[in-house]
Structure 1
Amino acid sequence: MTQLLPITDFWQAPGPILDVRSPGEYAQGHLPNAVSFPLFSDQERALVGTCYKQRGQETAIELGLELVGPKMATLVKKAKVLAPERQVRLHCWRGGMRSGSVGWLLETSGLDVNLLAGGYKAFRRWVRATLALPRSIIVVGGMTGTGKTDILHALRQLGEQVLDLEGLANHRGSSYGALMLPPQPSTEQYENLIAEQWIGFDPNRPVWIEAESKRVGICCVPREIMDQMEASNTLEVLRSKSERLDLLVDVYGRANPDELVAATERLHKRLGGLQTQEAIEHIKRGELVAAAAIILTYYDRTYRHDLTRRGKQIPTVDVSDMSVLKSAQYLRCQVSEWGWYNS
């Protein structure tokens, strides 16, 4: 028998999550790990919506049945492939006709079905409430090339709670941030991914987060998280400039040179025409350390300006000549001495 479950129970229910909204709705944002299982295509959804507005609900339902009828067998076959254990979770936008109809079809075909009460709309309300949950945060700042992201990953391996805002955004947070990474999610989906991790963090232990601006590429960091970060303990990682240059070349040296040039050209107004051209010439000659040294002048200047603007005294941790793992262990030791684990 089909059950209607609130989001907390829906998460725990067995079976894959099938999102029966249109592909366009799914692309805009969806439950993490949900599979697109559209009842209507984007065009069909638009037709039904127009029919509803112009001719009323009854006629729109009849049109919907005409569109769905030929697909019913295919939907059942696809669901059985996705759910070999014959258990599925379904949702649409508001938990209404689309999920109810598909739920009836799959249940009639021998599957156990759980529906999300309130649909994706209810899930988005849950996301907003989850992002507002208070957590103890340690913010890790530092100039470009200090290896902050790698240190966070090492902290996670050491058992610390880490929220990787750049990893979830598929972006490293600079003009070069998208190179060699998959496409970014929408901001809505970014929030969904963050909320999924945020709810799982132990509120009695700190969450380590890299310092970010309000945007990571095209993704906006949720205001609820940003507000907590700005009020949290922050440290600055220091590393020698030569190490920073080596780290940057190690990361971006594998990128397509043409893409490196394009990313550098985007800095033209901020870096200056002469320095931009010099950096580009170095890239074309394969002199990436020299190019990175020029580009760092802009990022270092921007970082210092931001620190001055905030007017906040931040303790520093020098990890020069340390491996990533040693750096993570040293940071953990330092914040423990400062009493940040109990703040």
Structure 2
Amino acid sequence: MKKGIATVAQLDTFDEFIDARSPAEFEEDHIPGAISCPVLDNEQRAIVGTIYKQQSAFEARRIGAAMVAENIARHLRERFQDKPKDWRPLVYCWRGGQRSGSFVTWLRLIGWDACQLEGGYKNWRRMVVTELETLPQRFDLRVLCGATGSGKTRVLEQLAALGAQVLDLEDLAAHKGSVLGALPDRPQPTQKSFETRLYQKLHGFDPARPVFVEAESRKIGRIHLPEGLIAHMRASACVAIEAARDARIEFLVRDYDYLGRDVPDLQNRIEFLRGLQSNEVLERWKELARQRDLHTLYGEFIDLHYDPLYHRSQNRNFARFPEAPSFACDDLTPAGIRELAQRILAAQA
């Protein structure tokens, strides 16, 4: 390998990752742990790109070089003054081209053993996509099944607290996975960022121990699950939670308490069900939302929407669901969920 160039396989040998791309590119996705030190900010990148297209490559390089030099100087002054002589950073841009190359040149002139990532972020992204095709199959998944309101995500949290390996896809996707699932304080990540988080999470698991995961459809909000993962989940062993209806309603009222505070938002989410429920039902649900009668509303959600959908999908989508051990539960308070998680974990031993 050429001096000053490193491959994706060598990431673990570096002290720090420096992302030289624009802030917008960094926000969309980046190598885990990387810091953003753009050599061109969003506006500058747009300016240089326009000059390249409308004038010439030379003019774009001439104007862009001054911007790059100024930005690199600022990063050196503000971010790296305290780094020791043996500090070894890896710098990357989109394809391992001029942006990261310029940065590495200055770092190496100072005396640091800086390297440029061969192929840049594009190679990292290609590796993540390829790995996710087969990586999930290395693990013994145990899929938690149960109708909406059964507290599956909270059970996963308790299983993790008890020391089990847990893959919480809804947490990674920042969405609860149902028509009510958008979170009020967490926007969903980009698809690329979700897949990077998933790749990182899977790499932290021990293949010798089971991994608990919640049954999901192909999409969580606007996030698509990789085909390799969804196929493996649907072929894996299942665990069925059979929670009482009243307990589920009480759980939903607590877990979605924020919906009752924003009636227009709740009514808007009910609109997502148009075409799946009659206009009469949707208008009744909107009125229940206006009245903040969440117990009645969520009870009708369960009876008319969620449970019929659940009963149609489980046997069809999860091949081993019919043989799943069943865990009855009539208490979905935090204490009841903790006890349920203990029973599930004990049965897997």
Same fold (TM over 0.5): yes
Instruction: State whether residues 179 and 259 of structure 1, in contact with CA within 8 Å, keep that contact through their aligned partners in structure 2.
Output: no
Deviation track 1:219-270 (CA, whole Å, cap 9, x = no partner) reads 1111111121112112221100111001100011123232222212222322
Counterpart in the other structure of 1:34: 34
Instruction: State whether residues 275 and 294 of structure 1, in contact with CA within 8 Å, keep that contact through their aligned partners in structure 2.
Output: no
How big is the shift at 1:18? 2.2
Task: Tell me whether 1:318 sits opposite 2:328 in the alignment.
Answer: yes
How far apart, in 2, do the equivalents of 1:11 and 1:178 lie? 35
Counterpart in the other structure of 2:345: 332
Counterpart in the other structure of 2:310: 303
**Greater displacement, 290-299 / 3-12:** 3-12
SS for the counterpart of 2:239 is: strand
SS for the counterpart of 1:317 is: strand
Task: Give the direction of change, closer, same or farther, for the CA distance of 1:219–1:78 in structure 2 (3 Å limit).
Answer: farther
Identity %: 32
Counterpart in the other structure of 2:284: 278
How far apart, in 1, do the equivalents of 2:129 and 2:144 lie? 24
How far apart, in 2, do the equivalents of 1:303 and 1:78 lie? 54
Q: How does 1:133-148 map to 2 (within 5 A)?
A: 133=135, 134=137, 135-148=139-152
Q: How does 1:81-120 map to 2 (within 5 A)?
A: 87=87, 88-109=89-110, 113-120=114-121
Matched to 2:77, the amino acid is: K
Counterpart in the other structure of 1:183: 187
Count of equivalent residues: 333
Task: Tell me whether 1:243 sits opposite 2:256 in the alignment.
Answer: no
Counterpart in the other structure of 2:297: 291
Q: Any unmatched runs of 5+ in structure 1?
A: 337-343
How far apart, in 1, do the equivalents of 2:315 and 2:236 lie? 18
Q: Which runs of 4+ in 1 moved over 6 A?
A: 53-56
Counterpart in the other structure of 2:156: 152
SS for the counterpart of 1:24 is: helix
SS for the counterpart of 2:63 is: helix
Q: CA RMSD in A?
A: 2.5
Q: How does 1:160-175 map to 2 (within 5 A)?
A: 160-175=164-179
Task: Give the direction of change, closer, same or farther, for the CA distance of 1:295–1:66 in structure 2 (3 Å limit).
Answer: same
Choose from 205, 226, 250 the match for 1:222. 226
Instruction: State whether residues 257 and 284 of structure 1, in contact with CA within 8 Å, keep that contact through their aligned partners in structure 2.
Output: yes
Instruction: State whether residues 174 and 183 of structure 2, in contact with CA within 8 Å, keep that contact through their aligned partners in structure 1.
Output: no
* Alignment TM-score, normalising by the size of structure 1: 0.87
Instruction: State whether residues 331 and 337 of structure 2, in contact with CA within 8 Å, keep that contact through their aligned partners in structure 1.
Output: no
Instruction: State whether residues 39 and 67 of structure 2, in contact with CA within 8 Å, keep that contact through their aligned partners in structure 1.
Output: no
* Alignment TM-score, normalising by the size of structure 2: 0.86
How far apart, in 1, do the equivalents of 2:173 and 2:203 lie? 18
Task: Give the direction of change, closer, same or farther, for the CA distance of 1:254–1:52 in structure 2 (3 Å limit).
Answer: closer
